[in-house]
Structure 1
């Protein structure tokens, strides 16, 4: 019989995000990797004050669940919007956007995205 898998927080390695995809210091903690038939990944992303993603898109919808601090996101050609802990942002496929922390504040969110392989899970 199947059972629930529990991965203790201490069992997950935190990595520094690549400067190819982010500005400033950003930490990533993989919470769930896709397991067939599911293609959904979940990553806890922590932004130091003022850090953010570069402009980017995803092939599938991205859901960001703000968990800490004050974040911000922007869609190309629109004004930036603030994200507070508990807010949920849904980003449609192909939408050019960025997200991160406002100056002077940490920000963290869990990013859920479907993938067929390596993807920017910010």
Structure 2
């Protein structure tokens, strides 16, 4: 079976363009990108300043200015949770393991329901919304938390989620 000259010419051109593109990508990777394995990052205690219970954190990524995105894995033992807090640019959580809970307060001050979250769920919390998240009472939970740094305003940490709020809101 013979190929027309036109088809052959297009195939050769496509192969040459692929090789050129691969070379350009390799050069860009060598000079502009950072590749590291998450296993290089250690789990550290999140401490009691903004968390209730046993919470561990592991840095995932942090962009260099002018980029502002950053992320961390956060592992909550059963019953552990964040304090109420507000992210000026919003926050996205990707649950990677376990079962957790999250709750928010709308812009009018109305308390929303506690929502159960589990591995595979993605939680998007808009900018300026008061919320908390953590593990359920009987399961640990790990999520990748991602946000953007606002150079003018940091995360606003508020009061702890009380046991009554945590337990009462789940009914």
Structures share a fold, TM > 0.5?
yes
More strand by share: 1
Task: Tell me which structure has the larger Cα radius of gyration.
Answer: 2
Tell which has more relative contact order, 1 or 2 (C-alpha 8 A, sep 6+).
1
1:47-77 deviations in whole A, cap 9, x for unaligned? 0001000001011010000110001101131
* Unaligned stretches of 5+ residues in structure 2: 1-26, 106-110, 156-171
Residue 32 (structure 1) aligned to one of 46, 61, 74: 61
Counterpart in the other structure of 1:51 = 80
RMSD over aligned CA atoms reads 1.6
Counterpart in the other structure of 2:143 = 109
Q: Distance in 2 between matches of 1:96 and 1:45?
A: 19
Which aligned pairs between 1:26-105 and structure 2 lie closer than 5 A? 26-76=55-105, 77-105=111-139
Residue 2 (structure 1) aligned to one of 14, 28, 42: 28
Q: TM-score, normalised by structure 2?
A: 0.66
Q: TM-score, normalised by structure 1?
A: 0.91
More helix by share: 2
Aligned length: 120
* Unaligned stretches of 5+ residues in structure 1: none
1:10-51 deviations in whole A, cap 9, x for unaligned? 311211002111000101000101212310001000000010
Q: Distance in 2 between matches of 1:119 and 1:108?
A: 23
What SS does the corresponding residue of 1:93 show, helix, strand or coil? coil
Structure 1 residue ranges, 4+ long, deviating more than 3 angstroms after superposition = 116-120
**101-110 or 12-21, which deviates more:** 12-21
